[in-house]
């Protein structure tokens, strides 16, 4: 389901997404939505690429995840197929068989080894996988295109805007690019992975290092966001390289100075895409960043940050521009972590709302009311217990979230 | 804040609440709400009673909980004071001092030892405790009354109806009563205790047994409900006895046959009050019972039941009468518990929606649509992994929840 409505937190303009050399794009419409739109994106690598993947920890997973695990042991990829509209999760043998049929079709149509076919699905859980519609749609002969924005649109579900970015940098004296696209926007509390994110690079990096890099950068980006605390059965992020750019010396560690710029830009791309997903959180009207600092451990900081970010009462108060910081106190408390009330400092923007275990008497309530009218709200929780920190990005809980999710399937 | 609106899940009529002999009631209005209403309930025991208490596990607690812990070591009670409108949590020294002032006032006015004064507060967290308004309100000389419904009304916050019940039974040949009142209705995912619940009995039961009994019955009632997954800093349930009825033989164990009827009725009272709290869950339009069965352990069953009951996406689907059972699959999965998809059976009412890892092909979608129009929805999740079970009661997530909570404080 897509809506004409666009999130008020959407970036003013969508950055130009630059094509990655050696990757051909196709989009198709299999009629998986009521309105006419593209719902399939296909990426064909001209030469075999490398691929790293992280995915949901959920115990019931999409059948696509099993396929990828089995067929991509070589971590070499020639085709990436993504459909929206159906998750291919809890679809039984019909869903498993469908992937084989799909892989065979792509394999013969594009002359690709079947074990270099990577597949992702997103949409409703538990409905039979619409393999007939999909096979019929992809049977059309099409010329490849380089329109990455179109591909970003084809993978949208309840997203209200397409998500993509390109960053360029110098690698051994030549221009190199990173292009990523992603989709949200509900059932989002990623753990080790998220929703769907596809990031394409060009540098030849050994596959085990590529995987390590992906895990690390995901931890600092997609794993630090939450929309509704619900974790998808299909969350997947991939990092794929065309290997167009060969380093002067083979890269052996993530600390290799040859990839210093690259790593910086990669992190930027991941954090930007994660940020866009929260900006398009279902029904979101406020982007809320929560920084828990001076915790005794990162585990403690993370537990508290997540508890606040997922508290329905806190999120609804922010939606209502209501400075009900007592709900932050509540969300901290319900982690059962030992807190020193006298040391706890809660700040909204530049306004410290607590002081020595009570409301800050110097608090200017009209100023804080004004602050809460902003679209981007920064909350800092200083525990005063140690020196560890954790950041998380979330959005508010609004009437529109209920609108979208009360009738998603019917 | 109280609303003229009444939950569509409210019982058709409120049962008559019978007074407990030897307990005098007072209610006051300290003007803690915008509209005129009672906001203080005071219970005075004619003779010293016994008291057992369970309360929130939250790490930041209301100052009232510390007071009760310190002053009620004897577990003997003469006065129970409850105010709505302010939680006396995170109120610093001002909040602590206020309780002493309040206790002294009640102590002198009603001739009660200060260490037999029990206090509970509920309402906004972090605002200074309105001790002046409260002291001024209770200074009025009033005659005691026996109107328990009025007391139930005085402790309401966002509740849309008062909650109370009386059960009677024979104890050693005489009539005996249990009367309980409680309040909800947001920030509710009790753990070891809940919101506010006050249950009064008459039988003389040793205090350590009374405490044991309270823990057990709370586990089977208030601890099996959730409205929004947010746990209050003030949750408290007490069980107090006037000790009017002396057993023929002193009661030494919870298995004493003299209290067999009593225990049955006590459980009824606790479960009824817990049920009413969910029926008055903020914005609730559907009462949802979730039964997870054939789990390998109770811990597993509980984890899965709670995950479903607190899933925003699941609750919003039920609000929308949308048979999106894929969201139940998702909520099960995100516990990371190992599941056998082929054994998993999900049932809505009498309709089994899954079969062998996919949608049940025999499912009559129009029948299930009709079923979801009902006010009470029963969901059974059969894991097929063992023989342990767990039940939980929750409500849907609606536009009205957002209405209520977007402007609670401002």
Q: Report, as an integer, the average pLDDT of A338-355.
A: 94
**CATH code of residue B392:** 3.10.20.340
- Residue B97 shares a structural domain with residue B212: yes
- Please report, to the nearest 10 degrees, the dihedral formed by the alpha carbons of residues B114, B115, B121, B125 taken in order: 100
Q: What part of B 345-364 touches A (C-beta under 8 Å)? A: 353-354, 356-359
Segments forming the whole domain that contains residue A97: 23-279
Question: What pLDDT is stored for residue A191 in this prediction?
Answer: 52
* Cα distance between residue B83 and residue B39, in whole Å: 6
- Residue A267 shares a structural domain with residue A292: no
Tokens standing for residue B61: 């607690």
Residue A251: inside a domain: yes
Q: Looking at mean pLDDT, say which of A229-233, A336-340, B99-103 comes out highest.
A: B99-103
Could you give the percent of chain B with pLDDT greater than 70?
96
Mean model confidence pLDDT for chain A: 89
Give the lowest-confidence range in A272-286, A343-357, B338-352: A272-286
Question: Into how many domains does chain A fold?
Answer: 2
pLDDT tier, A193 (very low <50, low <70, confident <90, very high otherwise): very low
pLDDT higher than threshold 80 for residue A248: yes
Residue A3: inside a domain: no
- Residue B318 shares a structural domain with residue B192: no
- Residue B226 shares a structural domain with residue B312: no
User: Which residues of B are less than 8 Å from A57 in CB distance?
Assistant: 336
Residue B51: inside a domain: yes
* Cα distance between residue B95 and residue B130, in whole Å: 9
Could you give the percent of chain A with pLDDT greater than 70?
96
* Cα distance between residue A305 and residue A300, in whole Å: 9
CA A77 → CA A52, A89, A210, A241, B240, distances in Å?
10, 23, 13, 9, 69
B284-325 confidence digits (pLDDT tens): 999 999 999 999 999 999 999 999 999 999 999 999 999 989
Query: Going by C-beta distance under 8 Å and a sequence separation of 6 or more, which residues neighbour residue B187?
Result: A313, A327, A330, B227, B228, B230, B231, B232
Residue A98: inside a domain: yes
Please state, as a whole number, how many other Cβ atoms lie within 10 Å of the Cβ of residue B37: 17
pLDDT tier, A3 (very low <50, low <70, confident <90, very high otherwise): very low
A306-328 confidence digits (pLDDT tens): 999 999 999 999 999 999 898 99
* Cα distance between residue A151 and residue A181, in whole Å: 8
Question: What pLDDT is stored for residue A280 in this prediction?
Answer: 87
Q: Under an 8 A CB cutoff, do B58 and A232 touch?
A: no
Closest partner CB to A313 (pick from B187, B312, B335): B187
- Residue A217 shares a structural domain with residue A343: no
Q: How far is A122 from chain B (nearest CA, A)?
A: 12
| Helix, strand, or coil (residue B228) | coil
Q: Report, as an integer, the average pLDDT of A220-226.
A: 80
Which of B309, B313, B359, B368 has the most A C-beta neighbours within 10 Å, making it the best mutation to test the interface with A?
B313
pLDDT tier, A14 (very low <50, low <70, confident <90, very high otherwise): confident
pLDDT higher than threshold 70 for residue B107: yes
- Name the nearest CA neighbour of A356 among A348, A344, A365: A344
Q: How far is A130 from chain B (nearest CA, A)?
A: 14
**Cβ atoms B183, B163 nearer than 8 A:** yes
Which of A56, A93, A324 has the most B C-beta neighbours within 10 Å, making it the best mutation to test the interface with B?
A324
**Cβ atoms A155, A166 nearer than 8 A:** no
Choice between B147 and A365, residue whose per-residue pLDDT is larger: B147
A142-165 confidence digits (pLDDT tens): 999 999 999 999 999 888 899 999
Which of B279, B300, B329 corresponds to the end of one domain?
B279
Residue B7: inside a domain: no
- Residue B201 shares a structural domain with residue B310: no
Q: Under an 8 A CB cutoff, do A319 and B406 touch?
A: yes
With left for phi above 0 and alpha for psi between -120 and 50, is residue A111 left, alpha or beta? left
> DSSP character for B164?
E
Question: What pLDDT is stored for residue B194 in this prediction?
Answer: 43
- Residue B263 shares a structural domain with residue B390: no
Q: Under an 8 A CB cutoff, do A406 and B317 touch?
A: yes
Which of A259, A279, A299 corresponds to the end of one domain?
A279
Question: What pLDDT is stored for residue A189 in this prediction?
Answer: 63
Residue A8: inside a domain: no
pLDDT higher than threshold 90 for residue B226: no
Q: Active site includes B64?
A: no
Residue A7: inside a domain: no
- Residue A299 shares a structural domain with residue A271: no
B146-193 confidence digits (pLDDT tens): 999 999 999 998 888 999 999 999 898 889 999 999 888 766 665 544
Tell me chain A's radius of gyration from C-alpha atoms: 22
- Residue B166 shares a structural domain with residue B240: yes
Angle at which helices B207-219 and B260-279 cross, to 10°: 40
Residue A266: inside a domain: yes
**CATH code of residue B202:** 3.60.70.12
Give the lowest-confidence range in A183-187, B117-121, B211-215: A183-187
- Residue A397 shares a structural domain with residue A255: no
Please state, as a whole number, how many other Cβ atoms lie within 10 Å of the Cβ of residue B120: 28
- Residue A375 shares a structural domain with residue A231: no
* Cα distance between residue B365 and residue B114, in whole Å: 63
Q: How many residues does chain A have?
A: 410
Q: Greatest CA separation found in chain B?
A: 72
Which of B216, B246, B279 corresponds to the end of one domain?
B279
pLDDT tier, B376 (very low <50, low <70, confident <90, very high otherwise): very high
Is B111 exposed, middle or buried (CB count within 10 Å of its CB: 0-12, 13-18, 19+)? exposed
Q: Under an 8 A CB cutoff, do B401 and A58 touch?
A: no
- Name the nearest CA neighbour of B152 among B144, B162, B142: B162
Question: What pLDDT is stored for residue B1 in this prediction?
Answer: 41
Which of A193, A330, A331, A332 has the most B C-beta neighbours within 10 Å, making it the best mutation to test the interface with B?
A330
Q: Report, as an integer, the average pLDDT of A368-392.
A: 96
pLDDT higher than threshold 90 for residue A43: yes
Catalytic residue among A194, A218, A226, A242: A194
Q: Report, as an integer, the average pLDDT of B91-97.
A: 94
- Residue A139 shares a structural domain with residue A72: yes
Helices (H), A45-130: 63-71, 92-110
């Amino acid at each position: 389901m897509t809506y004409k409505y666009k999130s008020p937190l959407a970036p003013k303009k969508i950055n130009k997404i630059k094509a990655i050399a050696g990757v051909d794009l196709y989009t198709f419409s299999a009629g998986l939505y009521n309105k006419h739109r593209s719902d399939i994106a296909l990426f064909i690598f001209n030469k075999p690429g490398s691929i790293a993947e992280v995915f949901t920890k959920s115990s019931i997973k999409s059948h696509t995840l099993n396929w990828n695990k089995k067929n991509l042991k070589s971590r070499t990829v020639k085709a990436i197929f993504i459909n929206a509209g159906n998750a291919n999760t809890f679809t039984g043998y019909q869903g498993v068989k469908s992937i084989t049929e799909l892989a065979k079709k792509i394999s013969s149509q594009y002359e690709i080894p079947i074990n270099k076919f990577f597949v992702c699905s997103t949409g409703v859980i538990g409905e039979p996988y619409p393999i007939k519609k999909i096979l019929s749609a992809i049977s059309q002969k099409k010329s490849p295109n380089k329109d990455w924005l179109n591909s970003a649109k084809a993978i949208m579900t309840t997203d209200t805007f397409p998500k993509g970015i390109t960053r360029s940098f110098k690698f051994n004296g030549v221009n190199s690019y990173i292009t990523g696209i992603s989709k949200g926007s509900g059932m989002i509390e990623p753990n080790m992975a998220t929703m769907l994110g596809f990031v394409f690079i060009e540098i030849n990096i050994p596959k085990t290092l590529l995987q390590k890099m992906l895990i690390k950068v995901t931890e600092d980006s997609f794993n630090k966001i939450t929309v509704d605390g619900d974790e998808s059965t299909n969350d997947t992020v991939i990092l794929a390289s065309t290997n167009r750019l060969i380093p002067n010396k083979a890269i052996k560690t993530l600390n290799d100075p040859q990839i210093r710029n690259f790593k910086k830009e990669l992190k930027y791309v991941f954090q930007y895409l994660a940020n866009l997903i929260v900006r398009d959180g279902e029904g979101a009207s406020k982007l809320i960043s929560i920084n828990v600092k001076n915790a005794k451990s990162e585990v403690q900081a993370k537990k508290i940050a997540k508890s606040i970010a997922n508290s329905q009462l806190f999120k609804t108060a922010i939606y209502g521009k209501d400075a009900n910081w007592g709900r932050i106190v509540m969300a901290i408390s319900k982690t059962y972590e030992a807190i020193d009330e006298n040391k706890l400092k809660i700040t909204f923007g530049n306004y410290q709302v607590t002081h020595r275990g009570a409301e800050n008497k110097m608090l200017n309530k009209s100023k804080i009311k004004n602050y809460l009218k902003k679209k981007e709200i920064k909350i800092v929780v200083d525990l005063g217990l140690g020196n560890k920190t954790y950041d998380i990005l979330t959005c508010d809980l609004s009437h529109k979230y209920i609108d979208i999710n009360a009738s998603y399937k019917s």
